[in-house]
Structures are given as C-alpha cells and as structure tokens.
Amino acid sequence: MKKPVFRVDELMRLCTNKSVLHLGYVHHSNEYEEVIKNGQWAHANIAKVASSVCGIDYLAKEVEIIREKFGYEGYFGDVTRLEEVKLDRKFDVIVCGELIEHITNPGLMLDGIKRFMHKDSILILTTPNPWGRNFIKRINNEC
C-alpha cells in the first residue's frame, strides 16, 4: 500500500530551497501574532525550508507589523489586482493556500500571477474540501 501524502508535507517539499511567493500569507484572525509566536503560521514554516519567501496580502496594517516586528518580507496588495503590487521578481513556487474560495473573480488572480512566474515555476492552489467528513457531520447535525 502506498504511503499517503499529507498536504503540509508536500507543500514543504515543493518549497524546499526555492524562491516562494505566498499569496494571502497573513493569518487572518485577531490572534495572528500568537499563531506566529507558536510556530503554527504557514508562512514561517515555508520560510524555514525555502531559499527566500515573500508574501502579498490585503491586510495592510498586519503586513506592516509582520515586516517590522517579525522581519518577513511582505507587500500590501489585492490578489485580483496584482499588477498594482510594487514587486518585480520571478519565483520558483507560488503558494495560494485556502485563498481562491474567497475571491469573487479568481481569473483575475490567476492572470496576475503570471507576471511572477518563469517557465519552470509551479503554482500551488489549495482549497478546503466541502465534502470532507467534518462538513458532512456538520450538515447532519443541523438536520
């Protein structure tokens, strides 16, 4: 039997020794500083294995705090208007984790991502599975 591949393990493997652009990198909760300090922040875990990591997020205040307080490179920007972000680099890996389901027009984000990709770049998109066990259980409990 083949060993299962876990999402986080695969993400870390794909980001190892690569330049990474992480879209939607701010942990969107009031406790984001605690999540960072506790080592539960995806961006920090990517930074441990990547050769470089840069983030883009629309939470301007948090982007600034994370840059100043924790030293992570990050830019304010709307992922549906990436042409407005003042960043001019290509990346080996672009990560969009649990982001695409929040966007009204994902095509705008996908078009904008192209400017950050070279011919061998990979794009990692993850999104929650609405038919997963927890979702089914929740539906059944509400009936």
In a domain, 137, yes or no: yes
Report pTM. Answer: 0.84
User: Nearest CA to 118 among 88, 98, 96, 141?
Assistant: 88
What CATH number does the domain containing 133 carry? 3.40.50.150
Q: Which of 30-34, 44-48, 84-88, 121-125 has the lowest average pLDDT?
A: 30-34
In a domain, 1, yes or no: no
- Per-residue pLDDT of 126-135, as tens digits, reads 888 665 555 4
pLDDT at 66 over 80: yes
In a domain, 21, yes or no: yes
In a domain, 133, yes or no: yes
Q: Which domain holds residue 117?
A: 7-142
In a domain, 87, yes or no: yes
Q: In total, how many domains does the chain have?
A: 1
> 60 vs 52, 55, 88, 142, CA distance in Å?
21, 12, 19, 37
- Per-residue pLDDT of 19-58, as tens digits, reads 999 999 998 777 777 887 888 889 999 999 999 999 999 9
Q: Which of 40-44, 70-74, 108-112, 136-140 has the lowest average pLDDT?
A: 136-140
